[in-house]
């Protein structure tokens, strides 16, 4: 059972249908507030029933300020069950040895800007990863907006520094992708790249994470996303120490 308190915030797993609806409502605000195709005010899909949902709440008010979900896979051969497998050919991970954890639908309440929320979220993930002996953390990291030119420097930096190992690299599966590793010729402007890099992806990369060589264009959510993997054994010791300090 996940239970963590840090500063103003507490972390727990959803326990009731009402908890899951609250998470879906926050996800809607974060991902679909301008959508005309989801009038019910909830972001829900078939993977919700397979996942554990994490809620981060401000203790004094009870406000749900962040949510995400975990899909725990015992071995690589279970990879086809995950959300990411809809968009990426993940056959190269089918032989991965060890427990895998997909983290998805990560969002922070749009009215909250406290950087401690992201730190607490990573503390919760670290606790779960350590407790369950997870060897690979993965998911889809999203850029807001579907035009690759808006993210050109960030994508160029991913190409030059963070493409995943060939033995694990996802294949193209989605019908609408941008093959940035093959098509981008520019040298990234580091300052502009970091300004455009999503906060969640920045944290993955600081832990030694890697990405796919192409981005999937998701017009339903108005995003572009890259497959992201973090091999737990490859996280730099100093970074592990910081994460465990938050989790402790």
pLDDT, tens only, 16-35:
999 999 999 999 998 887 66
| Predicted confidence (pLDDT) per residue in 88-100, tens digit | 999 999 999 899 9
Question: What is the average pLDDT across 228-246?
Answer: 85
Question: What is the average pLDDT across 40-46?
Answer: 89
Output the pLDDT for position 38.
60
Question: What's domain 3-247's architecture?
Answer: 3-Layer(aba) Sandwich (3.40)
Output the pLDDT for position 183.
93
Output the pLDDT for position 39.
58
Say if strands 99-108 and 171-172 run parallel, antiparallel, or are unpaired.
Answer: unpaired
Exposure pattern of 23-62 as b/e (b: 16+ CB <10 Å)?
A: bbbbbbebbbeeeeeeeeebbbeebbeebebbbbbbeeee
**Do residues 186 and 129 make contact, with C-beta atoms less than 8 angstroms apart?**
no
Torsion of CA 8, 22, 24, 20, to 10 degrees: 100
| Entry pTM | 0.92
For the ranges 27-31, 37-41, 79-83, 109-113, which has the lowest average pLDDT? Answer: 37-41
For residue 1, name the pLDDT band (cuts at 50, 70, 90): low
DSSP letter assigned to residue 76: G
Domains in the chain: boundaries: 3-247
Euclidean distance between CA atoms 87 and 95, whole angstroms: 19
Question: What is the average pLDDT across 156-161?
Answer: 96
Output the pLDDT for position 167.
94
Output the pLDDT for position 34.
65
Output the pLDDT for position 248.
66
Output the pLDDT for position 245.
75
Euclidean distance between CA atoms 180 and 159, whole angstroms: 7
| Predicted confidence (pLDDT) per residue in 106-150, tens digit | 999 999 989 899 989 988 999 899 999 999 999 999 999 999 999
Q: What is the CA radius of gyration of the chain?
A: 17
Does the pLDDT value for residue 75 go beyond 70?
yes
For the ranges 36-40, 52-56, 59-63, 230-234, which has the lowest average pLDDT? Answer: 36-40
């Amino acid at each position: 059972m996940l239970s963590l308190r840090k500063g103003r915030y507490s972390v727990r797993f959803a326990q009731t249908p009402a908890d899951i609806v609250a998470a879906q409502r926050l996800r809607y605000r974060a991902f679909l507030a301008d959508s005309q195709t989801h009038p019910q005010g909830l972001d829900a899909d078939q993977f919700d029933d397979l996942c554990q949902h994490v809620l981060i709440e401000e203790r004094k008010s009870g406000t749900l300020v962040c949510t995400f979900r975990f899909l725990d896979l015992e071995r690589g051969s279970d990879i086809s069950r995950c959300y990411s497998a809809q968009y990426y050919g993940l056959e190269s991970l089918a032989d991965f040895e060890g427990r895998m954890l997909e983290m998805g639908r990560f969002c922070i309440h749009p009215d909250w800007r406290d950087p401690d929320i992201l730190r607490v979220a990573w503390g919760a993930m670290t606790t779960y990863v350590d407790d369950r002996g997870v060897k690979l953390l993965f998911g889809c990291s999203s850029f807001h907006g579907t035009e690759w030119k808006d993210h050109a420097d960030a994508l160029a930096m991913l190409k030059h520094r963070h493409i995943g190992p060939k033995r694990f690299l996802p294949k193209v599966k989605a019908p609408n992708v941008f093959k940035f590793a093959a098509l981008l010729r520019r040298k990234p402007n580091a300052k502009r790249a970091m300004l455009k890099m999503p906060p969640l992806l920045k944290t993955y990369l600081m832990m030694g994470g890697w990405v796919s060589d192409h981005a999937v264009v998701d017009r339903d959510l108005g995003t572009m996303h890259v497959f992201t993997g973090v091999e737990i054994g490859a996280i730099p010791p100093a970074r592990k120490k910081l994460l465990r300090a938050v989790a402790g």
